[in-house]
């Protein structure tokens, strides 16, 4: 087995642009001239949320193509289960029933009893609708079409929640929680809810693995005992009780550690790379015939996980970004020919920059990775800034950290997770802005704000706290139901379980033809910068 860092490298591939299975990317965007189609093509791959489908293999002349498509989708979204490896695994009545609230005793299963009249369980056949908009034309804004006629096809995924039958005896469970990658608001909220829900099931042994996957192999790092008493108030602080880190030992080492520690439930909090690692751990456990449930909770402040409405920490990031944008506005508005530049997080996805700009109403220019732009030239950013100073007297620019990487010096450096180290587009834009206005003889007072760590280190706001609470609870429900190699997310306001491979093939990015991006452009009033 290779190291996790190799396993979790981004799986990016271009879709068949000649396919009629467009999902909203088969047409070119009318906002970009033909001469830059080569740049747009590099971005177009991200607008297919189900990109890994072999759409080109669909025979639309087959009258049963729709049924076959749905059958294929059902198979791809089938949830891996303990029964796949242990056919003789016998389910037992769930120990989770909120109708009985008497305290647990030392003798399992305590005073919990199965109440068949309690209608709080989820039926295994419950489903959540993946797509809710019927696009009547492939030219509709943000259209995601399968065939040339944009036929409506129902696409269902598994509903999350507690099941009436469980596949682990709580007294035999040793659960572990690990947080990987960078910090994100809400990590402590998820940890807290996982621990509390495990205790409601009757689990007595829950541990935290310190500092990400590194904690499985570093002998200097010992597991942290977790209980309701320990985690009761951790959600009142930002960061992670367990710490985070990037990089990892090999998959074999991690599974060896799981086996040696007697861990049979692993909850992994992280983004695309972390989830790819969790999926590799799940597969290795299956290969070794270990009865271990590996469940992910998607954590990314960038909101770039496929298929999901949003990921935890995103709402808080957008809210915190308002402070930086407002500061930039005040600085710019209070100065003669003031320009405020704010760089926000977003390696490959511009959701934070877009939503923050839309929310603030103070941004004149929003620049995101998905939409190419020029700094110089008659249609460049600087020329528009000159126009804004002449007409408004000030300007505010919001730029995502991954935007305009073709305009900064590239390096081959990578971080511990294998991510390419980005060039600092914020500093580059600041320098070019000062240089440009000095050369044309116009005074410009340029202020630059980078609130990156302030945004991700704070505690979750109310909206994210609720999301984290429900995600943590459903992660435990999924593990006890016997699922493994899955993650939990919110889809069309409902919580669902998804096989990890279906959400990690590539990042979810902003579609430049989406209504939300159009709304942002309407708010800022910015032109094309090409």
450 among known catalytic residues? no
53-66 b/e with 16+ CB inside 10 Å = b? bebeebeeeeeebb
Residue 321 to residue 396: CA distance in whole angstroms: 13
With beta carbons less than 8 A apart as the criterion, state whether 31 and 4 touch: no
Q: Which of 225, 312, 229 is nearest to 487 (CA)?
A: 312
Residue 312 to residue 184: CA distance in whole angstroms: 8
The catalytic position among 189, 256, 302, 364 is 302
HSE (side-chain half, CA atoms, 13 Å) at 146 = 21
With beta carbons less than 8 A apart as the criterion, state whether 224 and 210 touch: yes
CB atoms inside a 10 Å sphere around CB 261: 14
Token representation of residue 175: 């659960």
Residue in the structure block whose two tokens are 């749905």: 70
Token representation of residue 465: 């706290």
Direct distance between the N- and C-terminal alpha carbons of the chain, in angstroms, rounded to an integer: 46
Cis status of the peptide bond prior to 104, with omega within 30 of 0: no
| Contacting residues for 442 by C-beta, under 8 A, at least 6 apart | 337, 386, 389
DSSP H or E segment with residue 489: strand 486-491
Q: Which of 291, 293, 216, 218 is nearest to 260 (CA)?
A: 216
DSSP symbol at 78:
P
Question: Alpha helix (H) ranges present in 120-186?
Answer: none
Token representation of residue 156: 């269902």
Question: How many residues does this entry show for the chain?
Answer: 530
Q: Which residues are catalytic?
A: 302
């Amino acid at each position: 087995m290779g190291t996790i860092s190799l396993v979790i490298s981004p799986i990016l591939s271009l879709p068949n642009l000649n396919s009629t299975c467009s999902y909203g990317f088969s047409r070119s965007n009318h906002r970009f001239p033909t001469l830059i189609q080569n740049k747009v093509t590099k971005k177009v791959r991200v607008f297919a949320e189900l990109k890994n489908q072999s759409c080109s293999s669909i025979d639309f002349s087959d009258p049963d193509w729709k049924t076959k498509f749905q059958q294929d989708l059902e198979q791809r979204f089938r949830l891996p289960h303990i029964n796949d490896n242990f056919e003789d695994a016998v389910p037992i009545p769930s120990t989770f029933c909120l109708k009985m609230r008497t305290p647990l005793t030392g003798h399992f299963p305590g005073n919990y009893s199965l109440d068949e009249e309690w209608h709080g369980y989820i039926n295994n056949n419950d489903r959540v609708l993946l797509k809710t908009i019927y696009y009547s034309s492939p030219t509709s804004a943000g259209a995601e079409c399968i065939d040339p006629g944009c036929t409506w096809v129902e696409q269902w995924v598994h509903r999350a929640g507690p099941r009436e039958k469980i596949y682990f005896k709580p007294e035999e469970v040793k659960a572990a929680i690990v947080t990987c990658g960078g910090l994100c608001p809400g990590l402590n909220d998820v940890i807290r809810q996982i621990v509390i829900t495990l205790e409601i099931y009757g689990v007595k042994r829950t541990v935290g693995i310190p500092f990400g996957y590194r904690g499985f192999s570093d002998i200097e790092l010992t597991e942290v005992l977790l209980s309701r008493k320990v985690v009761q108030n951790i959600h009142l602080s930002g960061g992670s009780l367990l710490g985070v880190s990037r990089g990892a030992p090999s998959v074999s080492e991690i599974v060896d550690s799981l086996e040696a520690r007697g861990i049979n439930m692993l909850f992994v909090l992280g983004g695309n790379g972390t989830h790819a690692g969790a999926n590799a751990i799940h597969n290795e456990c299956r290969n070794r015939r270990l009865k271990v449930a590996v469940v992910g909770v998607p954590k990314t402040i960038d909101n770039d996980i496929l298929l999901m409405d949003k990921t935890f920490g995103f709402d808080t990031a957008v809210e915190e970004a308002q402070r930086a944008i407002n500061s930039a506005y005040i600085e710019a508005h209070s100065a003669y020919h003031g320009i405020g530049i704010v760089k926000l997080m977003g390696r490959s996805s511009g959701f934070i920059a877009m939503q923050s700009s839309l929310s603030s109403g103070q941004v004149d220019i929003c620049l995101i990775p998905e939409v190419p732009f020029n700094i110089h030239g008659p249609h460049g950013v600087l020329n528009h800034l000159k126009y804004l100073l002449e007409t408004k007297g000030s300007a505010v620019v919001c730029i995502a950290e991954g935007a305009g990487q073709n305009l900064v010096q590239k390096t081959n450096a990578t971080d511990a997770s294998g991510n390419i180290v980005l060039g600092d587009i914020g500093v580059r834009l600041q320098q070019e802005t000062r240089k440009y206005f000095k050369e044309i003889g116009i005074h410009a007072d340029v202020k630059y704000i980078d609130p990156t760590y302030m945004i991700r280190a704070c505690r979750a706001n109310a909206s994210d706290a609720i999301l984290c609470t429900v995600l943590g609870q459903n992660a435990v429900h999924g593990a006890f139901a016997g699922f493994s190699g899955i993650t939990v997310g919110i889809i069309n306001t409902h919580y669902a379980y998804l096989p990890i491979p279906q959400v990690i093939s590539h990042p979810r990015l902003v579609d430049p033809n989406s209504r939300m991006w159009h709304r942002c452009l309407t708010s800022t009033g910015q032109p094309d910068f090409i």
